[in-house]
Amino acid sequence: MIKTYLRPTGFVESPQRHDGESLRLAGTMIWFSQIEYIQRDATSTQRLLVSVSGWDAFTASLSDTVRERCALLLEHIAAPRAALQMGARTIRLDQPHVMGIINATPDSFFDGGKNFDADVAADAAFKMSSAGAAIIDVGGESTRPGAALIWEGEELGRVEPLIRKLAGAGTAISIDTRKASVMEGAVKAGATMINDISALLYDERAVEVARASNVPVVLMHAPSQGSDPHKDGVYNDVVCDVFDWLEQRVLAVEAAGITRDRILVDPGIGFGKSLAENLSIINNLSMYHALGCTILFGASRKRLIGALSNEAAADERLGGSIFLAMKAVEQGAQIVRVHDAAETVQAIQVWRGLRDAALTATI
């Protein structure tokens, strides 16, 4: 079976100087001038770069089935994403946003559990919000390699007091969990997004809870949806394999009653993927716009940064974290999930200034 993919590339700083030669990427501040046309079967992958201006002529020579597939993928790539409604907060997706991470666990790989206390965690979250983080992602169970699974009641008990504190201050809150009862309790406490590393597959009730909650939902790729999400990571072509998996998952969740404008996708950097596989996904992140969903990207402080920088420990990976976040932003990722909110917000603000200058430059 032959499968077709499209990846927007050839990004243009000032599209107004090249009328008709580029397209806007998902309604963001980014324009692309080329489309990488990818076809693969069980044994090989073929790639061809086609200019935006020559795209219609190129697709005219394709079979009807492939041409229709290309039209759908390109429509998804170019279509603006609807704003996320998170309670009283509206988050527009024409510019990138920061999601700040709060791990309300005693064994966080980064902070060592300092945010396990609800008051300490709330202070940290408020600082992130004040620094410009649009969303705070609260999690009560570690999913690092080798982490122990905890009882759902304990997990909810860790996050619920914190969520209530943050919701009372009007914070847009995401609950990072794969358990339906935790989703229910967190939404009741004031969470307005569900971020599930199992893409609503770990708990058989998760899809229905997410649908009934009527909040945006993040579907993340992991090779296993069991207790160990890092297990069984075997790929033929990791970029395309992850795309295929997410595409089928989006269709299934959409069929279950959750509209695509409420679905976000995350390729799952660091989950059951080798260093080379993680880097390949990051370098080709723009391809995931063809899913027609908002992209959430998370590589903050992860081990791949240490692997590329003399085995730097988690508390020494700030530079790499910011660079990877900006690599994602430059490919149109609408949300970057980070531990270092203030620093990442500043980096995005500088990038935004550069983009504004380029897009308003006189011809």
**Set 302, 303, 317, 355: catalytic member:** 302
**pLDDT at position 147, please?**
78
Give catalytic status of residue 24 as yes or no: no
**pLDDT at position 208, please?**
98
**pLDDT at position 38, please?**
98
Phi/psi for 143 (5° steps) reads -120, 20
* Cβ–Cβ under 8 Å, residues 243 and 291: yes
**pLDDT at position 232, please?**
87
**pLDDT at position 106, please?**
79
**pLDDT at position 1, please?**
86
**pLDDT at position 143, please?**
83
Helical pair 118-131 and 341-359, crossing angle rounded to 10 deg = 20
User: 231-258 as b/e, with b when 16 or more CB fall inside 10 Å?
Assistant: eebebebbbbbbbebbbebbeebeeeeb
pLDDT along the chain (363 residues), means of 10: 96 95 98 98 93 98 97 98 96 98 78 69 96 97 82 95 95 98 98 98 98 98 93 94 98 98 98 97 98 98 97 97 98 98 98 97 82
- Cα 314 from Cα 300, distance rounded (Å): 9
Q: Which domains does the chain have, with CATH numbers?
A: 3-78 (no CATH), 84-355 (3.20.20.20)
CB hemisphere CA count around 351 (13 angstroms): 21
- Cα 329 from Cα 336, distance rounded (Å): 8
Give catalytic status of residue 67 as yes or no: no
* Cβ–Cβ under 8 Å, residues 6 and 36: yes
Phi/psi for 37 (5° steps) reads -90, 120
pTM: 0.96
**Set 7, 81, 158, 337: catalytic member:** 337
One-letter amino acid of 356: D
Phi/psi for 23 (5° steps) reads -125, 150
